[in-house]
């Protein structure tokens, strides 16, 4: 029952936010902002600390690089979205296991899937980055969801994020905070 009420409230809040953001800033329709159905966001503080510890203790990768990182800042209580490109110059597939930032209380990896005209966001882990390849995290696909900011970062400022992989290595990036109506840059 608790999850149904939370999903209902988030659905209403997300729909209202999507409506106000899209009309005020001319975002293309449809705008889907919901990511709260189907999983629990009540991550215990010890689990959050474990993710931060993993990032702090991981060695910096020589083959994994994160670039083009930006965060679409949304008004609270809506979560912000993080987008970036991970390049793997190594000879083995790498799997992204987690992301963290001291600027946010919670960073989760999500994937948006589309089926039957509906979009659904769900938490995901072990996201494969092919050997010698790259993976783009972008609106409508893989992305990071950032919640509970210590202080809401100002538009134009930068926030550091750490990305931890199955090899025990990490990559870091400075992510620019952008306005809610920011469109995704064109893929190259």
Task: Render 31-96 in DSSP notation, one character per residue.
Answer: ------TTS-----HHHHHHHHHHHHHSEEPSSEEEEEEEEE---TTSPEEEEEEEEE-SSS-EEE
What was the pLDDT predicted at 56? 72
What was the pLDDT predicted at 184? 75
What was the pLDDT predicted at 49? 54
User: Is residue 100 assigned to a domain?
Assistant: yes
What was the pLDDT predicted at 41? 44
CATH number of the domain where residue 164 is located: 2.60.40.1890
For residue 131, the enclosing domain spans 44-178
| pTM > 0.85: yes or no | no
Mean pLDDT by 10 residues, the chain (188 residues): 36 36 36 34 47 72 96 94 97 96 96 91 94 96 95 95 96 97 70
User: Is residue 98 assigned to a domain?
Assistant: yes
Cα 136 to Cα 13, 15, 31, 127, 176: the distances in Å are 28, 27, 20, 11, 16
What was the pLDDT predicted at 57? 80
Q: What is the count of structural domains for the chain?
A: 1
Q: How far does Cα 93 stand from its chain's mean position?
A: 21
User: Is residue 84 assigned to a domain?
Assistant: yes
Contact 172, 160 (CB under 8 A): yes
User: Is residue 30 assigned to a domain?
Assistant: no
């Amino acid at each position: 029952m608790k999850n149904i009420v939370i999903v209902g409230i988030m659905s209403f809040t997300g729909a209202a936010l999507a409506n106000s953001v899209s009309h005020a800033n001319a975002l293309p329709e449809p705008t889907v902002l919901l990511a709260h159905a189907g999983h629990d966001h009540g991550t215990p503080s010890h689990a959050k600390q474990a993710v931060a510890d993993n990032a702090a203790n991981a060695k910096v990768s020589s083959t994994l690089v994160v670039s083009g990182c930006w965060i679409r800042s949304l008004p609270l209580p809506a979560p912000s979205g993080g987008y970036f490109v991970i390049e793997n110059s190594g000879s083995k597939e790498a799997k992204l296991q987690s992301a963290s930032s001291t600027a946010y209380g919670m960073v989760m990896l999500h994937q948006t899937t589309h089926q039957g005209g509906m979009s659904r966001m769900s938490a995901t882990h072990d996201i494969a980055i092919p050997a010698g390849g790259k993976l783009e995290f972008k609106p409508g696909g893989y992305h990071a969801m950032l919640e509970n900011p210590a202080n809401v970062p100002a538009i134009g400022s930068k926030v550091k994020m750490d990305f931890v992989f199955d090899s025990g290595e990490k990559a870091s990036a400075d992510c620019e905070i952008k306005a809610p109506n920011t469109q995704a840059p064109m893929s190259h």
